[in-house]
Structure 1
């Protein structure tokens, strides 16, 4: 006996409204921001940098340069090299730009 209702998945998508891909992506980006913010508040330096980049560029959240700078300042308390990626797009990892990390390590007293 087959159910004529729409509760089972169907191959032809009959009766199901399609959501534009741009809306799906925008929703994912917003959720990514909120997940990242939670980790950043928990003290994860890489996530603090990412939140800063997201605020600074308006990626997944309304652009707020002041909040972006605040999060980068927080991350820099532990790793000053994060400032090198402050102007980069979200996802550019601070460790990706540590090309002169040997120089930084050598100058540590």
Structure 2
């Protein structure tokens, strides 16, 4: 009987250590934002764009369109084509060929 209780107790402890997947994902996204912000502040253009996208959609941080615009403006000083991805989901990056195609259509 004692072994049965011990085994059942171990199972309950494992279950109590489990986190909901949504909590795990939220934590990962928050850490992704913090890592991205650090690189953006250090001057990484791609990370500046990504921070802008993350602020725009609220990935890892509450939505803030004003801060999104600030980060996109900062990145646009180097590469004006970043405005094309300002309202895209985080991680979307316009390639140079995307930029050329739109210029040719103008």
Instruction: Please provide the CA RMSD for this pair.
Output: 2.0
Contact 2:81–2:99, Cα closer than 8 Å, also in 1:
no
| 1:41 match | 41
| Contact map agreement 1:56 1:63 (CA 8 A) in 2 | yes
Displacement, 1:14?
Answer: 5.7
Distance 1:34 1:100 in 2: 29
Unaligned runs of 5+ in 2: 1-9
Report the secondary structure of 1:99's partner residue: helix
TM-score w.r.t. length of structure 2: 0.78
Q: Per residue, is there more helix in 1 or in 2? A: 2
Q: State TM-score, norm by structure 1.
A: 0.76
Change (3 A) 1:75 1:98: farther
What count of residue pairs does the alignment treat as equivalent?
A: 92
Long gaps (5+) in structure 1: 1-11, 105-109
Alignment of 1:7-46 (within 5 A): 15-16=13-14, 17-46=17-46
Distance of aligned partners of 1:102 and 1:87 in 2 relative to their CA distance in 1, 3 Å threshold: closer
Structure 1 runs of 4+ with >2 Å offset: 100-104
